[in-house]
Every structure is written in C-alpha cells, then in structure tokens.
Amino acid sequence: MLQLRPLDSACPIEHQLAIDAEPVVLVNVFTLDPADEAKFLEAWQEDAAFMKQQSGFISTQLHRGLGERASYMNYAIWESTAHFRAAFSHPAFRASLAAYPSSVIASPHIFQKVAVQGICGS
C-alpha cells in the first residue's frame, strides 16, 4: 500500500478536503522504486478509471519525471472539493490503495487557479 506524505506538512490533504472551493486541481507527486513502475502504473490506471466515473470529475493527466529516478506527477481537475472529497473517501477508492507497491510515496495537494493580470485568466 502506498504511503501518504503531505506536500505541505502544515496543510495535509485531510485539512484541504474540508475547505469548500470550486473548481479545484489535485496535484499528486509520486516517488517510487523503479522496479515497481509497472505495478504503480497498473494501480494508477485502475484508480484513474474509477475517478473518471465519479461525479464532478473533469480530467486528469499523468506525467513521468525526466531522469533515471521513478517519479510521477498527476493532476486532476474537479468541479469542487466536495466532489473530490466524495470520490477520495469512497470505500472502493480507499480499498484500491492497497494495490500500490509499498515503495510508492504520494504527496497530494489541492490547488485553485489564480488570475494574474496579463498572464493567465481566472
């Protein structure tokens, strides 16, 4: 089973899930033993297929870090934290975490877009 390690120790995912916001972007950084990559990708694909069926899911994309080390970054766009909270708390999703190799460390964090005049919109 994977280990959860906050991206920001002062604001772990459990705290963020209690904050109502919309829309939101989940960013999850994974580190793992390179020998576990195939099992990681299989487990992630199953989780992504489950999340894709959940209410409020918009999209997701997985990225692999450059270099020899096995690191991945996923972002998923949700209509709201309430939607993501329901999916993240679903018993089927929680049970699926056991499929990840024990070397996997996940660091999830929820973000909102920021409008910066002349650069990016809201």
pLDDT at 4 over 80: yes
3-state helix, strand, coil in the chain (%, to 5): 35, 30, 35
- What is the predicted pLDDT for the residue at 121? 79
Helical spans, DSSP H, in 3-78: 13-16, 37-52
- When pLDDT is cut at 50, 70 and 90, the band that residue 30 belongs to is very high
At a CB cut-off of 8 Å and minimum separation 6, what does 30 contact?
A: 2, 40, 44, 71, 72, 73, 74, 104, 105, 106, 107
Structure confidence by residue, pLDDT tens digits, 31-51 = 999 999 999 999 999 999 999
- What is the predicted pLDDT for the residue at 5? 96
Domain 3-111 in CATH 3.40.50.1980: no
Please give the order of strands across the beta sheet that includes 105-111.
Answer: 3-4, 105-111, 24-32, 70-78, 57-64
pTM of the entire predicted model: 0.93
pLDDT at 68 over 90: no
pLDDT > 70 fraction of the chain, expressed in percent and rounded: 99
Structure confidence by residue, pLDDT tens digits, 10-28 = 999 999 999 999 999 999 9
The Cα 97–Cα 88 span in angstroms is 11
Residue ranges per domain, the chain?
A: 3-111
